[in-house]
Structure formats: structure tokens, C-alpha cells
Amino acid sequence: MLAYGRDLGAFLAFLTGHLGAAPDLADLAALKPADFRSWLAHRAREGLARSSTARALSSVKSFFRHLDRRGAVSNPAVGRIRAPKLPRQVPRPLAPDEATDVLALADDPGRPAWIGRRDLALLMLLYGGGLRLGEALALDVRHARDAGETMRIAGKGGKERVAPLLPRVRDAIRTYLAARPDGAPSRSPLFLGARGGRLDPSVAQRRFREIRAMLGLPASATPHAMRHSFATHLLGRGADLRTIQELLGHASLSTTQRYTAVDAEALLKVYRDAHPRA
């Protein structure tokens, strides 16, 4: 709500300078697309982030919808204004040794044994198989028991893919299931919460934050970063993009190509650190 108020205040302050006086309802109704674009251009000149401008435009549009519902102002021009295109976010993977450290701390001896082994099995599956957190938490015990070296995963939009199960991942899952106090019935959730239901994502995220704090990792280190690390480390070891696309379940190769930018950044860092003329 505070951001909404700040966005509107800044918009009205711009209009005051743009129109030469504080705008009234008639002025708001008379605004043309060029007026709104002038405001967006002003924000760009001020160096404001595109994400901030996108949020501000959303606030302004909400304001005009509110005025329209009250019968105070009707201005269809604002609906024709598009938010600035946001730059595509480059995934932030962990370094290989950081991913290894995360796994080393996952099985906390201070917790009940089955919970520590659950956390390790979950993170092994994210890093070793490239699963999204939601995909892993949606699995049932039967999916793991029926799996061999691969497991069928229901991804976004119900699209299925095959994820690899490395021996260490399979061992971690088997060790966890053997430790479960309920005997791990086939139709029960694979990853169980302390109260017996399916593990809530927020619990897994909180546990990851604890590990992140112990290792001094940045805020970008999240459960999803383990999936990013899976893809980036495969690419760094020579895997081709098409294979990584299939393993991640990306509908478009362009999505997978983001990882080439990550790998290029890593190569440049090595170059800068190692080259005598860098």
C-alpha cells in the first residue's frame, strides 16, 4: 500500500510539471497516450529501474480503474500503455563446491534422523535430477519405488519428462524411506512433513535458508538455485543444450539458452583471474 501511494504521488507530481498545474479530474480524463509515455520517458531519464516503472504503471492503471468504477474519470488511453520490457533474469547457480557444502549440511544430526535424511534426499533430487521444488514435493513414494535409473516427472502444464536418478540420489532416497516412522506407504507423499502430510514448500525453503546462513551464501542461494546449478554444471562439463532442455523440461530452447550466459560469465571470471594481462 505504501508503494502504491508513492507511485501515485510521483505520477501526480510529474503531471503537475508536465501540465503546468496540479491536475484535476478533467485533466486526468483528457490525458493522451503521449502524456503517459512522457511520464515513462521521464522515469527512464531519472534512471529508475524498469521493474520499478512496471510496478508504478500498474499502480497508475489501478488508480484509473478505481476512478472509472466510481464514475469520476474514464480514460481508455491508460489501458493502451504497455509496461517496459523487463530484462531476462540470468539464473544464479551455486558453485560446485557450494552445492556440495549444502548437501553436506542437509542431514542435520540435531533433528530426528528421518527428517535430516528427508532434507538430504530432497536436495539431492533437486541438484542431482534438476527438479523444481514443486515437482519434487508432488511425488509419492510409489514414484520413487517404481523408478530405476530414471524417474518420470510431471512438470509445468502437465508435461512429463524423464529425470535421471544417479546412484547417490537413489541411495539418499532409499535411506530416507527406510528411516520414515510410518513405513512409507506407496500412496503416501514421498516427502513427508513432521505432522504427517505432504511437506510444505515453505518448510523446505526455511531449512535452505538455515543452511545458507551457516555457509554464508547469498540470498540468491535457494532450493531453485540447486536446479540452476544442475543445468550450469552439466553445461560446464560439456552437455549439449538440447539434452539439458529435455532434462529440465523446458518447452523452448531459448529458456535453456540462459545457461550459456551463466557459463560464459564463469569462463570470463576464470580468464580475468588467471590471465597475466587481464
DSSP per-residue codes, 88-141: PPPP-PPPHHHHHHHHHHHS-TTS-HHHHHHHHHHHHHHHHH---HHHHHT-BH
4 is a catalytic site residue: no
The pLDDT tens digits for 45-91 are: 998 888 788 888 989 999 999 999 999 999 999 989 988 776 655 55
209 is a catalytic site residue: no
User: Catalytic one among 212, 224, 228, 233?
Assistant: 224
Instruction: Tell me what pLDDT residue 176 has.
Output: 96
Task: Inform me whether the pLDDT recorded for 233 exceeds 60.
Answer: yes
User: Catalytic one among 43, 212, 233, 250?
Assistant: 250
Task: Inform me whether the pLDDT recorded for 7 exceeds 70.
Answer: yes
Q: pTM of the full predicted structure? A: 0.60
Contact of 8 with 63, CB cutoff 8 Å = yes
Task: Inform me whether the pLDDT recorded for 166 exceeds 90.
Answer: no
Cβ-Cβ contacts under 8 Å for 42 (sequence gap 6 or more): 14
61 is a catalytic site residue: no
Distance (Å, rounded) from C-alpha 25 to C-alpha 17? 16
66 is a catalytic site residue: no
User: Catalytic one among 118, 170, 212, 227?
Assistant: 227
Instruction: Tell me what pLDDT residue 267 has.
Output: 45
User: Catalytic one among 127, 180, 207, 259?
Assistant: 259
156 is a catalytic site residue: yes
143 is a catalytic site residue: no
Confidence of residue 245 (pLDDT cuts 50, 70, 90): low
Task: Inform me whether the pLDDT recorded for 271 exceeds 50.
Answer: no
User: Catalytic one among 156, 168, 206, 269?
Assistant: 156
Length of the chain: 278
The pLDDT tens digits for 113-133 are: 999 999 999 998 888 888 889
User: Catalytic one among 43, 117, 118, 132?
Assistant: 132
Q: What are the chain's domains?
A: 2-80 (no CATH), 96-272 (1.10.443.10)
Task: Inform me whether the pLDDT recorded for 160 exceeds 50.
Answer: yes
